[in-house]
Amino acid sequence: MTNGSLQHSISSWFPIPEVEELADSKEQHEINEISEENIEPAIPINSSLLEFSQEASQFLNITVQPEQLYDLMRLLKTNDQTHFDYLFCLSGVDFGEELGVVYHLESTIHRHMLVVKVKTSDRENPMLDSVCDIWYTAEFHEREVFDFFGIKFKNHPNLKRLFLTEDWDGFPLRKDYEDTINMIVK
């Protein structure tokens, strides 16, 4: 499926509630802000809680809120038209002010690819849903993300540090990590 049709079908799964019933009024702008959507209403196809983008990347990117992450992932895998059953890359990213995870998905039947990003602005105790019962490969990858970024995943069967020792202090791949002994900064 092309990116456009992917975007069309995925966005229909998460419509913004009550937006169709309201006229173009101030209340709509308020409701848009409450539902955490920050694209101007001038873009017609954006009637969903997800944020789509194709610039600066070779794949279709979806930015999703942490609350809808698990449902979106499950639908992406089980829906026959999208059928994203191959999670080939799960990376943690420190976006500067927020921490997040980037998922690269591929479908083994339709051979299309997709990128899903989720961000959380809580740097003290970031929590996200785990997808390891949808794709088994996520179990190890999420442990790695926890090890390096500190992002905890709910419902993960074995969330321990993977590479570093159990008593390591801090999360090395964050941008504000300081370690005068081990790091050489140019």
Partner 1 sequence: MDSTTKNSNFKTEEYQINMGPQHPATHGVLNLLLTIDGEIIKKVEPDLGYIHRSIEKMCERDSYQQIVHLTDRMDYLSSNINNEAVCLAVENALELEVPERVKVIRTIIGELTRISSHCLWWGVMGMDVGALSTFFYGFRDREMINDIFEETCGARLTMNYNVPGGLMLDIHPNFVKRVKKFVAHFKTKIPEYDRLLTQNVIFQKRTKGVGILTKEDAISFGASGPVARASGYSCDVRKYHPYSALDKVSFKESLKTEGDTFARYQVRIMELWESLSIIEQLIDNIPEGEHRVKTNAVIKLPKGEFYQKVETARGELGVYIISKGTKNPYRLKFRSPGFSNLSLLNHIAVGGKIGDLVAIMATIDLVIPDIDR
Please select the residue that binds partner 1; options are 28, 47, 93, 129, rule is CB under 8 A: 93
Please select the residue that binds partner 1; options are 111, 125, 157, 178, rule is CB under 8 A: 111
CB of 17 to partner 1, least distance (A): 31
Interaction between residue 31 and partner 1 (CB under 8 A) = no
| DSSP H helical ranges for the chain | 3-11, 26-34, 69-78, 138-149
DSSP type of residue 118: E
Task: Name the segment binding partner 1 (CB under 8 A); options: 17-25, 26-34, 64-72, 90-98.
Answer: 90-98
Q: Say whether 152 sits in a helix, a strand or coil.
A: strand
DSSP codes joined into one string, 69-82: HHHHHHHHHH-TTT
Rounded Cα–Cα distance for residues 80 and 94 (Å):
33
DSSP type of residue 48: B
Q: Return the number of the residue (10 or 115) whose C-beta is nearest partner 1.
A: 115
CB of 45 to partner 1, least distance (A): 22
Interaction between residue 84 and partner 1 (CB under 8 A) = no
Please select the residue that binds partner 1; options are 2, 25, 57, 125, rule is CB under 8 A: 57
Cβ count near 9 (within 10 Å):
14
Q: Return the number of the residue (50 or 101) whose C-beta is nearest partner 1.
A: 101
Interaction between residue 55 and partner 1 (CB under 8 A) = yes
CB of 156 to partner 1, least distance (A): 13
Rounded Cα–Cα distance for residues 139 and 113 (Å):
21
Interaction between residue 173 and partner 1 (CB under 8 A) = yes
Query: How many residues sit close enough to partner 1 to count as binding (CB under 8 A)?
Result: 37
Q: Return the number of the residue (16 or 50) whose C-beta is nearest partner 1.
A: 50
Q: Which residues bind partner 1 (CB under 8 A)?
A: 55-59, 61, 85-89, 91, 93-94, 102, 104, 108, 111, 115, 135-137, 139-141, 144, 162-165, 172-173, 182-186
